[in-house]
Amino acid sequence: MKKIYILAVMAMFVASVAFAQKTEKELKKEVREDAMKEAQKEAKKLSKEGWKTNPGSLPLDKLVEDAWMKQLQTDEKGGPFYIYADGNGVAESKSVAEAQAIELAKLQLAGSIETQIGSLVKANLANAQASTQDATSITEVIQSSKSVFLQQLGYINPNFKIYRNLKENKIEVQVKIFYETKQSFAIAKKAIRNELKEKLKKTDEQVDKLLQDPPK
């Protein structure tokens, strides 16, 4: 009788796990479907506003859907796979407007990386119970390293790129750029590592602890 009871409990446990897994898949499917609906709405809105895609590019609706899916994509730890940013540029030529848009998006991207790395280092610093002076020095290092982030990001060719004609022979270009979170963090950490070491008078091991990712 006891053996039958144990088997029944095990069967219930397996069934509950299977149900949880099924529910998780269903939730992901629902999220994807909702995202696609929102993407279609956005594409229609952009089309009404006069936005077009470049020759040879994906159609507008597919371009928007692709951008939405990238924003939803997660890594093996459940975090965002991409850091993304957008930018707009207006000029008399499409190439100049595009260059402006990309530069603005890169600035936004670098700012986002700066903020996240700053939060990471400060959290690690708080756990290490470091001084207020160290915290101030870290803020200075991270802020001064933004230009280094930009240089090391290099040229980015946006997957999402649309344009529309304005009055007075002006053209507006809108871009969205995506950069792998893991890769961007590696670039940012490399950019500030030596400066942190020198500014804080820390050893390699201590700096590594300041830059380590939080446990998931």
In sequence order, what are the beta bridge partners of 52? Answer: 163
- What per-residue confidence (pLDDT) applies to 215? 62
- What per-residue confidence (pLDDT) applies to 135? 72
Q: pLDDT tens digits, residue range 192-206?
A: 887 778 877 777 887
Q: pLDDT tens digits, residue range 132-152?
A: 677 777 778 777 777 777 777
Between 22 and 215, residue with greater pLDDT: 215
- What per-residue confidence (pLDDT) applies to 210? 79
Helix H or strand E encompassing 197: helix 181-200
Predicted TM-score (pTM) of the model is: 0.77
- What per-residue confidence (pLDDT) applies to 92? 95
DSSP E strands, the chain: 52-53, 82-91, 160-165, 171-180
Average pLDDT over residues 109-119: 86
Quote the mean pLDDT of the chain. 81
- Integer Cα distance of 30 and 198 in angstroms: 50
- Integer Cα distance of 177 and 198 in angstroms: 33
Per-residue exposure over 60-76, b if at least 16 CB sit within 10 Å of its own CB, e if not: bbebbbbbbebeeeeee
Q: pLDDT tens digits, residue range 48-101?
A: 999 999 988 899 999 999 999 998 898 888 888 999 999 999 999 999 999 999
Please tell me whether residue 131 adopts helix, strand or coil conformation.
Answer: coil
CB 121 within 8 A of CB 195: no
The residues spanned by each domain of the chain are 1-77, 81-216
pLDDT band for position 113 (cuts 50, 70, 90): confident
Tokens matching residue 139: 């803020």
Alpha helices in 88-180 (DSSP H): 94-127, 132-144, 146-153
- What per-residue confidence (pLDDT) applies to 194? 78
Phi, psi torsion values for 147, nearest 5 degrees: -65, -35
- pLDDT higher than 90, residue 165: yes
